Amino acid sequence: MTSFIVSVCSTALVYAVSILYAAIGEIISERAGVMNLGIEGVMLMGAVSGFMTVIATESLLLSMLAVIVTGALLGLFFAFLTVTLQADQTVCGMAFLTFGSGLSGFLGKNVTGMASTVKFQTVKIPLLSQIPVIGEIFSSRICSFMELTCWCP
């Protein structure tokens, strides 16, 4: 039973990393006075660009770089529309959500069902991995470690 709970918790932490980073980015945006409702569309575009990059190059580093560049360019475009052109933030956010969802579905149609052979490595953190249940949950993948660093300011 314990191994099942550890497996569920570690898998949930791996999948929660992207949502955690998006939530932190949205919190920072809202503190600056900008409401970006198009974060999910930007995440979908980043996911498609990252997956297409890892399929083409089999490099996790280049894939992560493609995701970062995609998110940054779409964020710059959103900032240009809402700050420079003073477009409505809600309308632009909904447009980004619709555009990102539709375009990622269209572009991702060619790679749907393809599997990547490249995976993140399992990392054992020296002190954390020795704690009975918590160590098994947090030291399973490098994504979980990155998520743990976000929780600790």
Domain residue ranges in the chain: 1-33+120-153, 38-119
From 40, 51, 149, select the one nearest 108 (Cα to Cα).
51
- Position 7 scores a pLDDT of 77
Tokens 């190059």 -> residue: 57
Q: What is the pTM of this model?
A: 0.73
- Position 43 scores a pLDDT of 92
- Position 89 scores a pLDDT of 93
- Position 82 scores a pLDDT of 93
Mean pLDDT by 10 residues, the chain (153 residues): 76 78 86 90 92 89 93 94 93 94 86 67 68 66 62 57
Distances (CA, A) of 94 to 65, 126, 152: 26, 45, 32
- Position 96 scores a pLDDT of 95
- Position 152 scores a pLDDT of 57
